[in-house]
Each structure stands twice: as structure tokens, then as C-alpha cells.
Structure 1
Amino acid sequence: MYRYYLSSSDFGFPQALLLLLVVLPAVGAAVVALFPATRDRQARILATVVAGGTFAISLLLPLFPSSDRGWFAYTPLSSSPQLPWIDLDLPWVPDLGLRFHLAVDGISYPLVVLTGLLTVLCCAYTIRGSGRALSALLLVLEVGVLGTFLAFDLILFFVFFEVVLLPMYAVIAGWGGPDRRAAARKFVLYTLAGSVLLLLGVLLVVTRAGTGDLIALAGGGTLTRTTQCVAFALLAVAFAIKAPLWPLHTWLPDAHTEAPTVGSVILAGVLLKMGTYGLIRVAVGVLPQGAAWASPVLGALAAIAILAGSLICLRQHDLKRLIAYSSVGHMGFVLLGIATLTATGIQAALLGNVAHGLITGLLFFLAGAIKDRAGTGSLEQLSGLRETAPRLAGLFAFAAIASLGLPGLAGFWGEAFAVVAAVHRGGPLWITLAVLAAIGGALTAAYLLRLLRRVTHGPATPAVHAMSPAIAPAEWFAWAPLIALTLAVGLVPALVLTDTLGVQP
């Protein structure tokens, strides 16, 4: 196959595609917001078209690689630069030495595609409703998330990281449930606290190293061990809030419970990945000595998150709240993989991120459909779903089984190999953490099977009995790709970790 080789100073078609990934949804959001109220439906259709175009651009990126190293070419704690496929490096604020540096590689590309996919599905989902403002906000969120995954400059990374704050607040506060404003305020307060720590960590690295370029900073650059440890502590807490990781997770259940369906899908599917991606790209990639210093603590917190998330889920009585708490446990497996600082662990984290986005996005779509039809999210009022809506019950069962990590589905690989990576790390601590994580995996199966028993089995409650069993075309459009990809990644995990040319990582 034809290969296109580039230097960072070039600006050709591949760089134009990279720039379009953030420019197209930004322009689309502005245009959609300017539509008059009388053309609300046309505005929502346009937002879907723009999101679809952005997703299509993301699929074209592998056709223009700048190296033969494959998708996944990341070596933890390596001092050598992790060269991207496509690199766009332009002056931004020359007097301050700031550059607009975007790039894509095997760490970011699966998350870029996941973001594009979930955004177009959510925009399509809103066509049957109302509110062009919601569609415009989804596109703004896409700009922030894509920019975060593509930024190769720390200052630019921080700017894009913060872009998502106000749009997500508006989505929750404007279209959420009865307690939406309180949930939105809690989300903002936690996120602002993380933003302050992130800014301090970024400024510490940039001022001490004299650059914010992530390629130049690979392996720590000239940073001393003390600087790396302090900066890593600041960045790790900031990213833990965004992920969120235990014990900084308490904003998540409220936000998910009150957010509209598309808000929950975007929040769980891609916004949480900004935290774990930041840990891999910035905290571990730039501060390897700090990562090595903190890895035992991160591993311990990961094991606690896995166990705590599962135990809390066993006591939940609200459908969306249970799914929200399940993310704490799933992100714990991702953190465990990162904490091992091994290639296997980082691969497990990447797989876990993608699988969680697909499966939990599907779960929130289905939970929203059930709640909208039944008028309640209480598990006590949702039994007997298979009696009145067997197709919906079957799809929900598929998503729940995928979430518990059944082999052959996407959720298995990341969690299983996070445990394997901990075992390979060796030593009493990591073996203990692997055992605790495995126990947490068993508890995950317990609460998800309990959820299925309560929702799909038993006699139908009045709320479920009155439900419409019909599934709208917009719902099939939103759910079908997630179902197919959950199967595809489960059967062929190499889709995430190797390129289409067969180059092995």
C-alpha cells in the first residue's frame, strides 16, 4: 500500500485532515447554534451530518502514516520520542513560544475514532427530539475531546482539556433530570479543582523544561527526579478527578443520574477517557521517574476502586446510578494496567478504554430508552422487561454480559490483561493487587447478573407493563454500531492494537 512520509514542517493533505478534525465540528456548532427556532429539526440534521463528516475524516487518517511502526508503538518509560503518524506543528503565539501542535499515533487514534463515532450516534439520536442547542453543544464537546487526544503541546492540551467543562455543564443543567442543576454544579466544582492542579502541573513542567512539546519531553527530558515526582502528583490527581478514579469519583453518579441520555453516553464514552489518556500520554510519558515513584500507590488505588465500585453497585437501586458506579470499577482496571508501567499494561489500558466507551455507551443508551418508556429508573419498578419488550431486554442483557467481561466480547481483554500485567510485574504487592482485581471482576459479574435478574426477569411491574416494545429507527441506528463493535473488538482485539497493514506492535 502507498505510504506518505512527512516531516513536521510540512503542511499537506494529511495535516489538513488533522486540522479539520477540530475545525469542522467547531464551525458546525456555530452554524447549528445560529439556526432559527423554526428550523430546529434541520439544525439537528445538519449537526448529525457534521459529526458524520468528522467521523469519516478520522477513518481516513491511517491511510497517511509517517512511519512503518504500526498503530501501537508506545514503550513505557522510554527516553526515545514516540513519533506520530501525522504531525501538524504551526506557530500559535510566537512571542510566548506557544505552538499549535497536533498529532496522532497509536495511543490516541482509537480514542479519536471512538469520539467521532459516539458523537455522530448521539447527534442522530437527538433528531427525533428537540433542541438544536443540545446538538451544537455535542459538537463543541467533540472539539474539546478530539483536541485533547490530538494535542502534542502541554499548553494546547490544557486548553482543549478545559473546553469540555462549560458545554457539559450546560448539557446536564439544561436537559437533565429534576436535580440537574445541583449535579451540574458538583461536576463543575470537581472539574475546576482538577483544572487548577492540571494547570499547576503543566506550568511546572513547561517552566522547568523550557518547552511544552510532548515529543521533546518524552522520557522526562532534562527534568530532575524531584520535579517529576511533584509534577506527577499534581497531574495524577487532576486526571483522577476527570476519569474519575476512587476516591475522587463522587461527582459521577449524580452527573450520570441527572444527565440526558446523550449526555451520559458522551460523558461515559469519551470524557472519562480524557483522564486515563492524560495519565498515559502526559503523566507517564513525560514524567517516567515520577510514574515509577507513584506506581505502587496507583496500583493500590486501582484495586480499591475495582472492589469499591463493585460493592457499591451491589447496593444500588437506580438503573443509571448503578451503571455510573460500574465505571469506577472499570476505570480501576484501566488504572491498574497503567500503574504496572509495562507494555502489556498500557495495551490493556487502551483496550479497556475503548471497550468501556463502546459497552457503557450502549448501556446508557439502553438505560435511557428503558427509563423514557417506563417513566422511572428504579430497579424495584422495572422487573419483567422480557415479558413486554423482549428485544429491548435481549439487547440490555447483551450489554450487561459484555460489561462483566465475558470472553469473546470487548470487555474481556482489557480487564484480563490488566491482571496479567500485574502478575508479570511480580513481587508480593503486585500479585496481591492482581488477586484483588480478580475478586473485583467476580463481584462485577455478581452485580450485573443481579441487575439482569431484577430488570428482565420476574413478573412485569405496572410501569414495565405499560411500556411500548417498539424500537425506533433512530435507536437502532445508535445502538447497532456499538453492538457490532463490541463483538468485533471482542473477537479481534488487534483492531485496536495493530494497523490494517498487518504491522504488529
Structure 2
Amino acid sequence: MIAAALTIPFVVGLALLFLRTLVSGRTAAWLGAVAMAASLVLFALVWEGKDAISGEVDVEWIDLLGARLHLGATAISWPFLLMTAFIGVLCCVWLIADDTAPALVGLVLIISASSLGVFASLDFLLFFVFFELALIPMWFVIAWWGSSSVEPSAEGDRGGGLKNVPGPDPRLAARSAATRFLLFTVTGSALLLVGIVLVARDNDSLQLTEIRGGPLAAAVLIVLGFAVKTPLVPLHTWLPDAHSKAPTVGSVLLAAVFLKLGTYGLIIASSVLPEGFADVAPYVAGAGVVGIVWSALACYAQDDLKRLIAYSSIGHMGFVALAISTMSPIGIAAAVFGSVAHGVITGLLFFLSGSLKDRFGTASMRAIGRGLYARTPWLAVAFVFAAVASLGLPGLAGFWGELLSLRAAYEVGEVLDKPFAWTAVGFAVLGVALTTAYFVRAIRLLAQGEPVAQDADRDLTVRETVVAVALVASIVVLGLAPGLIVGLYDFSAVTYSGTYTPVAP
């Protein structure tokens, strides 16, 4: 069943790439939505319980290397699988339009299938292959379908017109952002591959269910490789440009799925390399906390809504990194919940920012103007809901990820010492306050104030409403019933394989 769940979107995606001249964009998007929905249903049905590896597939692959086609869903990977397939469905629904390029839908399916392969892999080499497989398609999504840069005119500062400001060719800017993304992630992948080789040599196995340790050098290299993808400060500089230039579905996939490849990888590293990860955990926690505070300050200075959301992702991933660095059962649960919550919340934010950019030709909050409550009421309500969910309002999904991360650090396990852990908690709480400040500022700049009508004002369309309602419902459900994810774990022993015991540094 897992093999089918991976194969269906991959095959349909390849077919759309090769047969793109034979189908319309609308038909391609419908086919993509059906393929991803089938994958979502199959992953939901494969679940056999938190104490088992669900839907396990294990067949020979490369005997010389000891690599196997080993797939399965665990208590940690299953929420990531469901979230990725869910986001893939919504991306395809978003693309249901006559002007959609079938090739773009095909790339979205290949990226989604590759990411699902990462989360389902139980072989480290297979994990790496899927990890790399999504990079080139994402480069094409950003470089070929990246949006042009439009800046506000003087009148635009008051909600008036827009003008194109002379500058670099928008296509070159999009390709530059895509290439920076590719160079950063490929460099991180090279470090990851070397780390995998060291681990395989030390354990004489590539199976994640069998690896139990490795040299410190391997832990450092693997953590660095995943830190680029997460991303952790200072390895984050590719993210804002990639988000601001990517099309809407590209931004959603980057935030909701690609960043989770990094956090999921860090969870794996903490489980299969416990001693080595314990040595680098304080650095992971420190980078996460710096990212929480620094990104919040950067967000407060942004006018471009997409860049603001991109920087906010760095902060949210900082909470996940802090939780993982504790190497405690509740920390792992917090990391999984925080990652999934960020996926659906930031996915909604990027879909809505894409709606605004489609209407006004820019993501500049000054150019879009104030008073969206009066101009586009449902779009404004959806944006405000996503913003308050992202800042961690109790009762919504964002609250539990942050709270559990803070609790994991506050309780102080066997890895982080008390002064360091409590200092990290203090800075993280400051980050929560700063997050509230910049999202309140964004709400005031867009939703509130005296409305200045523009010709581009129009409320949510049917497809935008479907996507928004689906994500709003998931945010509310996770906020009111966090046990749907947290309940998957036994806090006395939580790891990738279900046998984790915290290791003293």
C-alpha cells in the first residue's frame, strides 16, 4: 500500500510532464488532485498502530552496498506523510485554472512524491535518494514560474497604483533565487552523504531500524546537512529570496514540506546517533533560539508579506530545533506536532498571500493598502485567522507546538544543562512576544484602518475558499484535539524506532 501511495503521484507527475501538450491546465490539476488524494487515503489506511512499522516493504536493492528498498510508516513519520499528501492535494486544487501549465502540476506531484519517499524511507541511502530527488523539480518551479518583482509607487504607499521599478530582469532574479536555493541545499546534501557513509561503515548497515550510533564527525555532518534544509541560522539565507520569488504553490511546498525534511532529519539523527547528537545538541538549541529572536525582529522590518512569512518560518523552526535538542520524549512529540502545525498554518498564510499577490500584482503591504475587512471581508478574516494561529493563540494548532517545545526545554533532561536550557526558554518566550508584535502589525496594515478601494479588490474565489476552509478546519482540529498527534507517543520511550532512552552527554 505504501509503494502504491508513492508511485501514483510520481507516475501521474511524470505523465503530465511528458504529455503536457495533450492536456489542459485545468485537467492536469484535477488529475493531480485525484492522485494526491489517493495517496492521502492510502497513507491513512496503512496505519497499524503506534507500536508497529505500518505497511512495511523490504526488498533487495543494491546488495553490494547493503541498501534495500525499505519503506514503512512509524509513529513519527506517519503525521508527516499525512500532512505532505494533504498539502499536495490542496496545491493541485489551487492550480485548477485554465491558465495553469500542466508541467507545473507535474512538478508539484514529483516534489510531493519525493518528499513522501523521504518520510517513508527506512533505509538511509534510499532516504538520501528521495531527499535529493525533489531538488531539481523545485528549482524549475521557482526559476520558470517565479513571479516578477513589482514595487509600490508613491501613490501605492497610500493604497494607490503600482509601478514597475527599473532593475534586474525578474526572470533572472527568480533564477538567481532558485540557484541559491539549489547551491545551499546541494552543499548540505553533500555533507549529509558523507555522514551517511561514515554511519554505514561504523554500523555495517544502512537500515534506520538497525543503526545505533556512529562517530561524532558523522553526527556533525548529518546535522549540518539537515540544518540547511530546516533552516537554522546562519544557514537560512536562501529562504527569503526563494519564497519571495516562488509561485504560490512553490512557497507552500517550500514552507509546509521542504522545511520538514530538515526537521524530520534532525529527529532521525537524534534517534539513530544519540551520543553524537547529544554533543551537538546545545549548538542546535542555540541556533534555534537565535533564529526565534532574530527572525522575529526581521519580520517586524518587512513590507513584503511573503518575505515576512518566510522569516517567520525560521522562528517557528527554531522552536522545533529547541525541542529536538532536548532529546527527551516530550521534545520529540513537540517537534513532530510543531512541524505539522507549522505546515498547515504557514501553508494557509502562503496561499492567502498568493491570493493577494494575484490580485494586486505585489506582496507589498503598503501597496495592497489597508481596510481589507471592508474591501475583501472573507479574505481578510482568513488572513487574520492564519496570523493569530501562527502567533500561537490557545485553541489553535500553533499554540501546542510552542508550548510543548518550551516545556521540553524547561524540564531539563539529560542533554542540556539547566542554566543553558532555562536561558533558551527565556529567549524563546521573548520570541513569542515579538511574533505577536509583528503579526499584529501585519493585521493592522492590511485588515484594519480606513479602506481605500482598488480595482483589484475581490473576495475569495471558489477554489481559494475550498483550500482555505480545509486548512482552517485542520488548524482548529489540531488545536482542540492535540492528542491526535501527541497521543501517538509513549512519553516513557519515544524515538524513530520506538526504543529511545535519553543519553547523557
1:458, CA displacement in angstroms?
Answer: 1.7
Does the Cα contact within 8 Å between 1:35 and 1:43 map onto a contact in 2? Answer: no
- Distance in structure 1 (CA, Å) of the matches to 2:488 and 2:233: 34
Q: Of residues 87, 98, 112 in structure 2, which corresponds to 1:142?
A: 112
Does the Cα contact within 8 Å between 2:377 and 2:459 map onto a contact in 1? Answer: no
Match in the other structure for 1:204: 198
Match in the other structure for 2:40: 55
Does the Cα contact within 8 Å between 1:32 and 1:46 map onto a contact in 2? Answer: no
Match in the other structure for 1:8: none
1:38, CA displacement in angstroms?
Answer: 4.8
1:37 partner SS: coil
2:58 partner SS: strand
- Distance in structure 1 (CA, Å) of the matches to 2:470 and 2:323: 27
Does the Cα contact within 8 Å between 1:106 and 1:497 map onto a contact in 2? Answer: no
1:138 maps to a residue whose letter is V
- Distance in structure 2 (CA, Å) of the matches to 1:374 and 1:193: 37
Match in the other structure for 2:249: 262
Match in the other structure for 1:468: 457
1:479 maps to a residue whose letter is A
- Distance in structure 2 (CA, Å) of the matches to 1:470 and 1:457: 16
Check if 1:300 corresponds to 2:290.
no
- Distance in structure 2 (CA, Å) of the matches to 1:392 and 1:125: 15
Match in the other structure for 1:28: 12
- Distance in structure 2 (CA, Å) of the matches to 1:208 and 1:264: 38
Q: Of residues 119, 129, 133 in structure 2, which corresponds to 1:163?
A: 133
2:229 maps to a residue whose letter is K
Q: Scaled by the length of structure 1, what TM-score is found?
A: 0.89
1:245 partner SS: coil
Does the Cα contact within 8 Å between 1:32 and 1:44 map onto a contact in 2? Answer: no
Instruction: Map 1:139-288; keep pairs closer than 5 Å.
Output: 139-177=109-147, 178=170, 179-217=173-211, 219-220=212-213, 223=214, 227=215, 229-281=216-268, 283-288=269-274
Check if 1:433 corresponds to 2:424.
yes
- Distance in structure 1 (CA, Å) of the matches to 2:450 and 2:398: 30
Structure 1 stretch displaced more, 291-300 or 405-414: 291-300
Deviation string, structure 1 residues 428-450 (Cα, Å, up to 9, x no partner):
11111111101111111011111
Structure 1 stretch displaced more, 247-256 or 177-186: 177-186
1:467 partner SS: coil
Task: Show structure 2 runs of 5+ residues with no match.
Answer: 148-169, 495-505
CA 254–162 in structure 1, closer or farther in 2 if over 3 Å, else same: same
1:216 maps to a residue whose letter is E
Deviation string, structure 1 residues 440-489 (Cα, Å, up to 9, x no partner):
1111101111110111112234xx62233232111112111110010000
Does the Cα contact within 8 Å between 1:310 and 1:440 map onto a contact in 2? Answer: yes
- Distance in structure 2 (CA, Å) of the matches to 1:95 and 1:341: 34
- Distance in structure 2 (CA, Å) of the matches to 1:321 and 1:43: 30
Q: Of residues 69, 90, 101 in structure 1, which corresponds to 2:70?
A: 101
- Distance in structure 2 (CA, Å) of the matches to 1:140 and 1:156: 16
Deviation string, structure 1 residues 395-430 (Cα, Å, up to 9, x no partner):
100000000000000000011111111110161111
2:395 maps to a residue whose letter is G
Instruction: Map 1:74-85; keep pairs closer than 5 Å.
Output: 84-85=53-54
Give the superposed CA RMSD.
1.6
Q: Scaled by the length of structure 2, what TM-score is found?
A: 0.89
- Distance in structure 2 (CA, Å) of the matches to 1:298 and 1:46: 41
- Distance in structure 2 (CA, Å) of the matches to 1:319 and 1:308: 17
Check if 1:111 corresponds to 2:96.
no
2:251 maps to a residue whose letter is S
- Distance in structure 1 (CA, Å) of the matches to 2:448 and 2:27: 41
- Distance in structure 1 (CA, Å) of the matches to 2:220 and 2:18: 43
- Distance in structure 1 (CA, Å) of the matches to 2:56 and 2:34: 27
Structure 1 stretch displaced more, 190-199 or 376-385: 376-385
1:60 maps to a residue whose letter is L
- Distance in structure 2 (CA, Å) of the matches to 1:85 and 1:112: 12
1:36, CA displacement in angstroms?
Answer: 4.8
1:165 maps to a residue whose letter is L
Match in the other structure for 2:297: 311
Match in the other structure for 2:150: none
1:137 maps to a residue whose letter is L
CA 454–276 in structure 1, closer or farther in 2 if over 3 Å, else same: same
Task: Show structure 1 runs of 5+ residues with no match.
Answer: 1-16, 74-82
Task: State the percentage of identical aligned residues.
Answer: 43
1:105, CA displacement in angstroms?
Answer: 0.7
1:389 maps to a residue whose letter is T
Deviation string, structure 1 residues 248-288 (Cα, Å, up to 9, x no partner):
1110000000000011111101110000000101x111110
1:244 partner SS: coil
Match in the other structure for 1:385: 372
- Distance in structure 1 (CA, Å) of the matches to 2:28 and 2:314: 36
- Distance in structure 1 (CA, Å) of the matches to 2:55 and 2:326: 29
Does the Cα contact within 8 Å between 2:382 and 2:468 map onto a contact in 1? Answer: no
CA 48–431 in structure 1, closer or farther in 2 if over 3 Å, else same: same
- Distance in structure 1 (CA, Å) of the matches to 2:294 and 2:28: 43
- Distance in structure 1 (CA, Å) of the matches to 2:231 and 2:305: 19
1:406 partner SS: coil
Deviation string, structure 1 residues 269-316 (Cα, Å, up to 9, x no partner):
1110000000101x1111100111112221111111110110110111
Does the Cα contact within 8 Å between 2:20 and 2:102 map onto a contact in 1? Answer: no
- Distance in structure 1 (CA, Å) of the matches to 2:460 and 2:281: 46
- Distance in structure 2 (CA, Å) of the matches to 1:47 and 1:143: 11
1:136 maps to a residue whose letter is G
Q: Of residues 14, 31, 44 in structure 2, which corresponds to 1:46?
A: 31
Does the Cα contact within 8 Å between 2:232 and 2:314 map onto a contact in 1? Answer: yes
1:103, CA displacement in angstroms?
Answer: 1.2
- Distance in structure 2 (CA, Å) of the matches to 1:134 and 1:477: 20
Instruction: Map 1:394-405; keep pairs closer than 5 Å.
Output: 394-405=381-392
Q: Give structure 1 regions of 4+ aligned residues with deviation exceeding 4 angstroms.
A: none
